[in-house]
Every structure is written in C-alpha cells, then in structure tokens.
Amino acid sequence: MDAAIAFILFVAMGKVALNMMERIELEKARQLIKERVIFTGAETVGLPEAHGRVLAENVYSPMDQPPFNRSPLDGYALQAGDTEGAALHAPVSLEVIDTIYAGGYSRKKVAGGSAIRLMTGSPIPDGADCIIRQEDTRADAAGRQVKILKQLRSWDNYCFKGENFKKGDIVLLKDNLLKAAEIGVLAGLGIDAVPVYKRPTAAVISTGDELVEPGVELAPGQVYNSNYYTIAYRLRECGVDVAPNMSLGDDHRVIEKTITDMIDEVDFIITTGGVSVGEKDLMMEIMENLGAEIIFWRINIKPGSPVLFSVLAGKPVISLSGNPLAASVTFDLLLYPFLREITCNKSLELKTMQAILQNDFHKKSPIRRALRGQLARDENGKAVVKIIDMEQSPGNLRSVLNSNCYIDIEKGCPGLKRGERVNIITII
C-alpha cells in the first residue's frame, strides 16, 4: 500500500515538475534541436537524380573545356597579319581552302593568303590566329575567294582550348546546391554522376480525432488536415524525403505504435497536435511512455509556444502545435538551423534585418511574438514591411500567403506604429 501511494505521489510530482518545466527562448530551443542532428552520409547519384541535392565533395574538371580551340561564330579562320589595312573600301582577298562545320575538323593548315570557312562551335584549324565574322566579309559565288572588310588582331574571336575550365580546375565546391545551372555545367564537362549528401528522411504525423483529408466532405466539427501538407511539402522543398501521410486521431496506443515503428525507418519525426494542456494533449505522455528523453516543452514565443522536443532512440521527435499557423511559424523559426545541418543545404538560412513598419499594430505582446509580414523595398530602396493580417490567430493559415518574413516583436511591446523600425527575420 505504501509503495502504491509512493508511486502515485511520484507520478503526480512528475506531472507537476513537467508543468513547471521552464519555457525556453527560441534561440536556445533552436540550438537544442540542432545539437541532435545525425549526419546521414553521402552517396553517388546520376545527374538526373542530382538535381536539388547538395554536393558532398568538391568537383574538379576531368577535361579541358572547350576541349579544342573553338570558333565562337560563323566566319573565317585566318591570320591577322593578312588583314592589315583591310576595310570596306579596301578589302583583302584570301583563298578559301576548306569548310568546317560544328562536329567536324580540317586537316588543312591556314597559311598566309588563305582562310578556312567555319561555323560556330567548329575547331579552329592550325595556322589561324583569329576568326572574322561572316558579316565582315564578302565571299564570291563559288565560295573559293573571300574579301576581308575589316582589320583584325591576333586572337580576335578566338576561344582557347580550356578557357572555361582546365583539366583539374575546381568546378563546384562541396556543399553547393545543385540547381539547373550547376547540373548543366557538370553535363558540359561530361560528368554523369556526383557525390551528394543522402536526403534525410522524416515522418510527419498528424494527431487529432477531428481531422479529415482533403477531398472528403466535412462532418460537423471536423476540419481538414492541412498540417501534413504544409510541413511535408516544406520539408521536401528543404531536401527531406517524407513518409506517406499519417493522420492518427487521438488514440495514444495508435500514436505510440506508429512512432515506435517509424523511428527506425526515418531520421526524425515531426508530429502536430496534442502538445498543449487540453484533455487530449497526449504527446508528452506518449513520449514519456516510450522512454524518450524530454528536452524541452514550450518556448517563449507566440504563436507556436507549445512545442515538445524529445529524443527517441537517438532521433529527434519534434511535436508542434496542431494550430496550422502556429505549426508553420515554429517550423520556420525553430527548425531551419536543424534542417540546414541535417540536409547540409546551406541556403536554408534565417536572416535578421530591420525594416520600417507600414501599418499600425495595436495588440500588446505579453510574450515575444512573430508576425507574418511582407518585406519589400520602397521607391528609395529602403526596406519596408507590412503586416499581412492583423489577427494572425494561431489557427488561421491565411497570413502565410504572400508573406516572406516574420516581424520579431519583443516581449512587453505595447503595440507598434507605422514608421517604426522593427526587427525582421527572413526565411530563404
């Protein structure tokens, strides 16, 4: 009996301890999550798969590019010395000894008094030291003679072998994000596969008995599950592979089982819903039941204050509020540094700056507040920011549309006036 009472007391004290668990600052919370990144390793993939991936090693050029001295235009290869004094009213005549098309070459050598006609991209024949464009010449009908109408200097219009890249030159640095331009440059060098970081994988689990999927008619009290979509697609944009949609209701056994199954399959889990203090706010209990290490619960910012961060089997489990705006704000402000580390995508960055507010904001901010805003430049190039929707209640996702930044309002702020300088966090 004594043991039973002691146990009940122990559990009750545990709950009190949790409720007293200190809210922590956003910056501290970011750091605590970032510290739990597990490096996912690298792999070599073909170019089509490399698009959108991050290079894991420097890439060096395997060849000279262009691989031969190359004509940048349609015209004639010749010796600059032959063009001395050439002008529209004083043409110089040269013998055309061959023609080269792109993909072909000539065994002939250009000597004084001769020229070889060539097309853009053809190899420049030996003996020639410049290319004259066709528009500055006049050929005879048979194409055997060409009149040169302009004086050239040596190496005019001459693209040298290896002038883009010499064999062994560095082409791309490790950690570069491979966008269309980078993929094109690699292809131009004949590179068909590159080492990239593995894409981390995540499961996004939505909790809430009230949730239904888009496409189904709503019964009274139901809402559409938007969090999975916001979070899964944002993760994909950041370079994370996401497991199929899992919307689990509020049954703690189902949630526990799914988290237990998924934790071995993915690098991290994001859950939404059930982290506040309501009756069905199960996530804390679930993570404790699973034996997870509870790192923090609740951060000092609005919206999105209820966040639970725990670590299960060495992997981060980030439990966000179910409120769609809150989930989206905490995703951005809390998880970017973690995502930057785990994907190695250095372009994921939260930047801070200041801007001039363009509208009044009347609400008090008893705790720090992040407001969705629209950052732009005014006609003088000054950074200006507009609050998109004055309400921005945590459940209303509307303000994410047309927003490109957060206005970071400090705790205790009585309200803001148009024209005030405010702190901005931009998300890239």
Rounded CA separation 194/401 (Å): 36
Question: Percent helix, strand, coil in the chain (nearest 5)?
Answer: 25, 30, 45
213 binds ligand AMP (CB under 6 A): no
Q: Which one among 324, 337, 372, 388 touches ligand AMP, defined by CB under 6 A?
A: 324
323 binds ligand AMP (CB under 6 A): yes
Closest separation in Å from C-beta 219 to Mg ion: 17
Closest separation in Å from C-beta 282 to ligand AMP: 9
Neighbours of 419 (CB within 10 A): 11
Tokens of 42: 């690298």
Rounded CA separation 296/99 (Å): 75
- Touching Mg ion, residues 350-409 (CB under 5 A): none
Closest separation in Å from C-beta 272 to Mg ion: 8
The residue range among 33-41, 220-228, 383-391, 400-408 that interacts with ligand AMP, by the rule CB under 6 A, is: 220-228
Closest CA to 274 of 256, 261, 295, 300: 256
Q: Which one among 61, 206, 319, 345 touches ligand AMP, defined by CB under 6 A?
A: 206
Cβ proximity to ligand AMP, 82 vs 332, nearer residue:
332
Residue count (the chain): 428
Residue 323 interface partner, choices ligand AMP, Mg ion, none, CB cut-off 5-8 Å depending on type: ligand AMP
Phi, psi (degrees; rounded to nearest 5) at 197: -70, 145
Closest separation in Å from C-beta 8 to ligand AMP: 27
Enclosing H/E stretch for 380: none
Closest separation in Å from C-beta 420 to ligand AMP: 32
- Output the CA–CA distances (angstroms, integers) from residue 141 to 4, 275, 290, in the order listed: 110, 85, 88
Enclosing H/E stretch for 382: none
Residue with tokens 């970071």: 408
Q: Which one among 6, 9, 170, 223 touches ligand AMP, defined by CB under 6 A?
A: 223
The residue range among 91-99, 194-202, 272-280, 341-349 that interacts with ligand AMP, by the rule CB under 6 A, is: 272-280
Chain centroid offset of residue 223 CA: 31
- Touching ligand AMP, residues 78-107 (CB under 6 A): none
Q: Which one among 226, 289, 300, 423 touches ligand AMP, defined by CB under 6 A?
A: 226
Cβ proximity to Mg ion, 274 vs 373, nearer residue:
274
211 binds ligand AMP (CB under 6 A): yes
The residue range among 60-68, 71-79, 127-135, 266-274 that interacts with ligand AMP, by the rule CB under 6 A, is: 266-274
Assess contact for 203 and 189: CB atoms under 8 A. Answer: no
Q: Which one among 99, 134, 201, 276 touches ligand AMP, defined by CB under 6 A?
A: 276
Cβ proximity to ligand AMP, 190 vs 395, nearer residue:
395
225 binds ligand AMP (CB under 6 A): yes
Cβ proximity to ligand AMP, 125 vs 306, nearer residue:
306
Enclosing H/E stretch for 280: none
Residues 6+ apart with CB under 8 A from 28: none
Tokens of 142: 């048979």
208 binds Mg ion (CB under 5 A): yes
Cβ proximity to ligand AMP, 173 vs 223, nearer residue:
223
Enclosing H/E stretch for 297: strand 293-297
Q: Which one among 66, 75, 200, 273 touches Mg ion, defined by CB under 5 A?
A: 273
Cβ proximity to ligand AMP, 272 vs 345, nearer residue:
272
The residue range among 68-76, 169-177, 236-244, 269-277 that interacts with Mg ion, by the rule CB under 5 A, is: 269-277
Assess contact for 148 and 86: CB atoms under 8 A. Answer: yes
Residue with tokens 């002008």: 87
Tokens of 19: 């409720």
Closest CA to 292 of 269, 322, 316: 316
Assess contact for 32 and 311: CB atoms under 8 A. Answer: no
Interface residues toward Mg ion, by CB under 5 A: 208, 273-274, 322
Interface residues toward ligand AMP, by CB under 6 A: 206, 208, 210-211, 223, 225-228, 272-274, 276, 278, 321-324, 395
